[in-house]
Amino acid sequence: EDQVTQSPEALRLQEGESSSLNCSYTVSGLRGLFWYRQDPGKGPEFLFTLYSAGEEKEKERLKATLTKKESFLHITAPKPEDSATYLCAVQGLYNFNKFYFGSGTKLNVKP
């Protein structure tokens, strides 16, 4: 079955301290990899879709990259408002009605 593993489970950063979150996946052919941000008590908010190895997407302080086995979400000079849980999900090429989510990385950015 398709699987997604995210690391670390939790990450504490000082404001301005850049870092990366990891999403490793196992899927029988990748149709798409998705990054979401989730604030406490709310539904996930869509950030990026990546479709093929080598692809990169950027939005403000966030940049997502994709290889054949994993994706990274790079956070440059984070601010306290970037604190949230970041979720990764994959959609397989052959079982494309389902999306498999990782458990997320809980990011806490201290001022």
Partner 1 sequence: DTGVSQDPRHKITKRGQNVTFRCDPISEHNRLYWYRQTLGQGPEFLTYFQNEAQLEKSRLLSDRFSAERPKGSFSTLEIQRTEQGDSAMYLCASSLGRGGLYYEQYFGPGTRLTVT
Strand, helix or coil for residue 37:
strand
User: What's the min distance (Å) between Cβ of 80 and partner 1?
Assistant: 22
Question: Which of helix, strand or coil describes residue 80?
Answer: helix
Nearest 5°: CA angle at 58, between 94 and 26? 30
Applying the rule CB under 8 A, the residues between 13 and 52 that interact with partner 1 are 31-32, 34, 36, 41-46, 49
Output the smallest distance, CB 111 to partner 1, in A. Answer: 25
Residues 50-89 contacting partner 1, CB under 8 A: 87, 89
Torsion of CA 88, 101, 98, 42, to 10 degrees: -90
Residues that bind partner 1 (CB under 8 A): 4, 6, 31-32, 34, 36, 41-46, 49, 87, 89, 91, 96-104
